[in-house]
Structure 1
Amino acid sequence: MDTDDLTPAEARVRRAFPRGEAVDFRTTDGEDPADGAGWGPERTVRATVLQSLLLTGPQRDGETASLSLAGARVTGPLELQYATVDHPVRLRHCHFDEAPRLYAGRLRELNLSESVLPGLIAHALRVDGVLRLTRARFDGMVRLGGAEVTGSLYLESTRIHAAEAEGPVLQLNQAVLGADLWAPGLSTRGQTRLTGASVSGTLNLRDAVLDAPDSVALDGQNLVVGSGVSAPCLRARGRLDLRGARISGTLDLLHASLSRPGGTALRASSSVIGELWLRGGDRIEGALNLRRSQIDILTLAPQKLPDEVYLSDLSYTALAPHEPAEKRLPMLERDGDGYVPYAYEQLAAAYRRTGDDAAARRIQLAKQRRHRRTLPWYGRAWGLLQDAAVGYGFRPLRAGGWLLSLLAVGSVTYGLHRPRPLKPAESPDFHPVFYTLDLLLPVVSFGQENAFAPRGWYQTLSYVLIITGWVLATTVVAGVTRSVSRQ
């Protein structure tokens, strides 16, 4: 580097570099780097000067060289493709005329916090430390696909608004983070891509705003998070896609606003999640897809659910909060896959694990009624009969009520109009109650039915009692069989 060609501002930066001293060109604490295009030569530094310092800059024995610059206007592209930089790079509150190019570079630390940039090109970047973009503002794409950061990536209150971007505005696909992805308050206008990314710690999206109304707001397919995803009060316009994600801890979407009318607002199909929290805040606008996922604890408020859900092969161990079965059943009625028997079994099992057997029976009864709608007319007719008689075996006392009612009708009728004996000399004494029981019970015999023969309308009544007794017996046996098989 020819020191004679340096401006006073650049010479100041060069003198501070070997001692690791910070250079701050700011005149006031509240100045906005967005106005940096108008800053004069007294605080303008060429990117080539910074590049030369980082690669071949002077060093002093006993000192740790570093580039620490604030409040500067950086002109030209900062080119560090494939470069290895052994010094910390801190360029805070700066204004960049062009997007830095760090493709496949290797750095100790990179801090661009509070700076304004037209973009960042850093595919396959490796940072042996932390990467800080806190409160930075980007007017173009941030490309960190395949990046590897041994520490955390900080995107707290970062704004990425790329109006003319072709593709995701924030690319972190296949990125590997050794600690956290810390992005509370992140604001993106366009797609955020996290496909195949791995976050060893926590993914924090609290109060983030992800805006891609006609597309995918967050593409996190096959995302792996070692701890959990904290996204309370997240606002996402566009699909939140977590298909195939592996989240060991909690996926926290408390009070989150998820909106994609006419499409899928949240897709977490084929995922493995420790806990999913979906409650509080506005109702989901768009479909909810949890097909084939495995969730240990599903916290799902009924009022949060949209009109369309997909729950085929979803399995969960516990369901919270504890709500009456009547509030949970509409969720299964809205399933876009139609009648899904397994969904009813899962819900009934969840209630059984909490000891609420009455709610579990109501769900099993609702399952049979839903299944009935899929049958041909004769199957539906038989199902209606079983439902009315004993509630498909889940209302066994109903059969007792029917039997007592028919027993009363038969006993009174035949008590007032005794049937004639077939063999008067050999017939036992007539007893209307036991005669009616003989007609109703298909197996038990008290010797009355074969000894007496009613006539006319009373004979027709005896046929009705016999047929009704067989129907009740069949439905009771079917219900008991189902109960035994469930146990």
Structure 2
Amino acid sequence: MEINDLTPAELRVWQAFPKGEAVDFRDAADQRTVRAAVLRALLLDGPVVSGEVAALKVAGARVTGVLDLRYATVESVVRLSHCHFEDVPDLSGAQLKYLNLSGSRLPGLASARIRVDGGLRLTDCRFTGPVRLGGAQIAGALYLEGAEITAPEGTADPVLQLHQATVGEDLCASRLRTRGESRLDGATISGSLRLEDADLRHPGGFVLNAEALEVGANVLGRRLSSQGRIDMRGARIPGRLDLLSSRLSNPGGTAMRASSCVIGEVWLRRGPRIEGMLNLRRSQIEHLNLEPEMLPDQVRILDLTYTSLTPHVPPEQRLPMLERDEGRFDPHGYEQLTASYRRTGDDHAARLVQLAKQRRHRTTLPWYGRLWGRVQDATVGYGFRPMRALGWLLSLLAVGSVTFALHAPAPLKPDEAPHFNPVFYTLDLLLPVISFGQEPAFAPDGGQQWLSYVLVLAGWILATTVIAGVTRTVSRQ
């Protein structure tokens, strides 16, 4: 390109480039238009000055035409901040040292498979079309703080495409605003994914598709507002998934799916009730910081494994979570909750969870199993309330003792029968494995005979349920 063909604005940029000087058009009322072809010529074959580091540093320019750097290698720093692009820049497959478009207005960005040796800064940018960064390799950080990405109505493609991308440091997207799907499936972020105060909206569709996402540290989404489906199936997050004070909403669908994940910590607290399904099936979580009030009506936690659970609340507030998984009985969920209470030393809460597990299991049995289960529950609480057996025994002992004291049964052999004792006679009937010599020596008749049958049967039931409860307790230990 000949220098005589340049406009005054382009000439300023051309002369500043060899020394890496900044050109700011933000205060210029006119003469701020720069052709994309001029910028391309500078970046690919611009003038150089010995001893100086060339760089393209332009602010506030109106860029016309397509900035076409497809598969180009750019050795200079590129900073085009607060610029207005009339056409979508095409940087697909390009290799750059550093790119800064902060504060700019663009109709989109085509940068699939771009390679940036430093950072890529898109802070406070306004995009009215898709940002395509699929397969990008960014050695430094990717900055999307305060960016806004929308697309014309009816656009089917994701508005933010970062699938299979690699980010060497953090992906900073605090205060990001998107209106459509953000796609991060298969992406690798060596640092943290920061989504604090982000506003992501795609009602009825995927708002964040991050399947098989790999993060080196944390996913930080405090005060995140999401309208649509978040899908993080198979994600690997060694730090924490922090969603404190967040609002997750996808009525009639899945609000968040984090199944088959491996996560250090999950924080779901202080926010409003989740609207839509929460799916944590088959995930492995070291610490689950989950507030019961945030849980929706539909929760999927089949085969969820966690080491600790906070905050410490009564089991009555945790148990409904186990009953919302399509109404199915999941013994693993009860065992996980029991173990979490035992780790905190709350054995009473652990026993209540186990009792709830037996009662829930009873509903899956045939009628005779349910009947026997109700007997065990009423008598000794499936072995978790052994004092009930003592109460039943004392009550039956009192009834039998009074009845037989008022009218002693006739002895079978009057000359050989021991002195009748109504208390020990009743104990002989109630305790199947202990004999005081009273029961075989006397023969009740009429109503007393039927009472003796009831006492013998009750004794066997109580003994069987107590033994079953003790056996269950020993096996747990």
Length-normalised TM-score, structure 1: 0.97
Task: Output aligned runs, 1:137-216, within 5 Å.
Answer: 137-164=126-153, 165-216=155-206
Q: CA separation in 1, counterparts of 2:367 and 2:204? A: 44
Check whether the contact 1:310–1:337 (CA below 8 A) recurs between aligned residues.
Answer: no
| Residue equivalent to 2:335 | 345
Bigger Cα displacement from structure 2, 328-337 vs 373-382: 328-337
1:474 paired with 2:461, answer no
Check whether the contact 2:43–2:76 (CA below 8 A) recurs between aligned residues.
Answer: yes
- Encode CA deviations 1:377-431: one digit per residue, 9 max, x unaligned: 1111111110000000000000000001001111111111101110111111111
Q: What amino acid does structure 2 have at the position aligned with 1:139? A: T
1:90 paired with 2:85, answer no
1:250 to 237, 240, 253: 240
Q: CA separation in 1, counterparts of 2:471 and 2:229? A: 45
| Residue equivalent to 1:132 | 121
| Residue equivalent to 2:349 | 359
Check whether the contact 2:428–2:434 (CA below 8 A) recurs between aligned residues.
Answer: yes
- Encode CA deviations 1:138-183: one digit per residue, 9 max, x unaligned: 0000000000111100000000011233211000001101100001
1:315 to 293, 302, 305: 305
1:375 to 359, 365, 376: 365
2:408 to 405, 413, 418: 418
- Encode CA deviations 1:80-106: one digit per residue, 9 max, x unaligned: 011000000000010000010000100
2:106 to 103, 117, 120: 117
Check whether the contact 1:312–1:337 (CA below 8 A) recurs between aligned residues.
Answer: no
Q: What amino acid does structure 1 have at the position aligned with 2:412? A: L
- Encode CA deviations 1:325-374: one digit per residue, 9 max, x unaligned: 11111111212251111101100110000000000000000011111111
Check whether the contact 1:268–1:289 (CA below 8 A) recurs between aligned residues.
Answer: yes
| Residue equivalent to 1:18 | 18
SS in 2 for 1:411: helix
RMSD: 0.8
SS in 1 for 2:52: coil
1:238 paired with 2:234, answer no
1:484 paired with 2:474, answer yes
Q: What amino acid does structure 2 have at the position aligned with 1:336? A: E
Task: Output aligned runs, 1:61-80, within 5 Å.
Answer: 61-80=50-69
Q: How many residues align?
A: 476
SS in 2 for 1:84: coil
Q: CA separation in 1, counterparts of 2:249 and 2:458? A: 54
Check whether the contact 1:260–1:285 (CA below 8 A) recurs between aligned residues.
Answer: yes
Check whether the contact 1:163–1:189 (CA below 8 A) recurs between aligned residues.
Answer: no
Q: What amino acid does structure 1 have at the position aligned with 2:169? A: A
| Structure 1 unmatched runs, 5+ | 29-38
Bigger Cα displacement from structure 2, 424-433 vs 117-126: 424-433
1:58 to 47, 52, 73: 47
Q: What amino acid does structure 1 have at the position aligned with 2:450? A: T
Q: CA separation in 2, counterparts of 1:337 and 1:391? A: 23
Q: What amino acid does structure 2 have at the position aligned with 1:355? A: G
- Encode CA deviations 1:272-312: one digit per residue, 9 max, x unaligned: 00000001121000011000000000000010000010010
Q: What amino acid does structure 2 have at the position aligned with 1:45? A: V
Q: CA separation in 2, counterparts of 1:255 and 1:241? A: 19
Q: CA separation in 1, counterparts of 2:58 and 2:142? A: 20
Q: CA separation in 1, counterparts of 2:229 and 2:470? A: 46
Q: CA separation in 2, counterparts of 1:337 and 1:404? A: 39
1:429 paired with 2:419, answer yes
Q: CA separation in 2, counterparts of 1:249 and 1:275? A: 6
SS in 2 for 1:195: coil
Check whether the contact 2:218–2:240 (CA below 8 A) recurs between aligned residues.
Answer: yes
Check whether the contact 1:102–1:123 (CA below 8 A) recurs between aligned residues.
Answer: yes
1:296 to 286, 289, 292: 286
1:387 paired with 2:377, answer yes
Q: CA separation in 2, counterparts of 1:116 and 1:214? A: 28
Q: Percent identity?
A: 64
Q: CA separation in 1, counterparts of 2:286 and 2:73? A: 44
Check whether the contact 2:222–2:243 (CA below 8 A) recurs between aligned residues.
Answer: yes
1:333 to 298, 323, 330: 323
Structure 1 residue 26: deviation in Å? 1.0
Check whether the contact 2:120–2:140 (CA below 8 A) recurs between aligned residues.
Answer: yes
SS in 2 for 1:472: helix
| Residue equivalent to 1:27 | 27
Q: CA separation in 2, counterparts of 1:59 and 1:156? A: 34
Check whether the contact 2:204–2:253 (CA below 8 A) recurs between aligned residues.
Answer: no
1:458 paired with 2:448, answer yes
Q: CA separation in 2, counterparts of 1:337 and 1:198? A: 37
1:449 to 416, 419, 439: 439
Q: What amino acid does structure 1 have at the position aligned with 2:374? A: L
Q: CA separation in 2, counterparts of 1:97 and 1:394? A: 73
Q: What amino acid does structure 1 have at the position aligned with 2:51? A: G
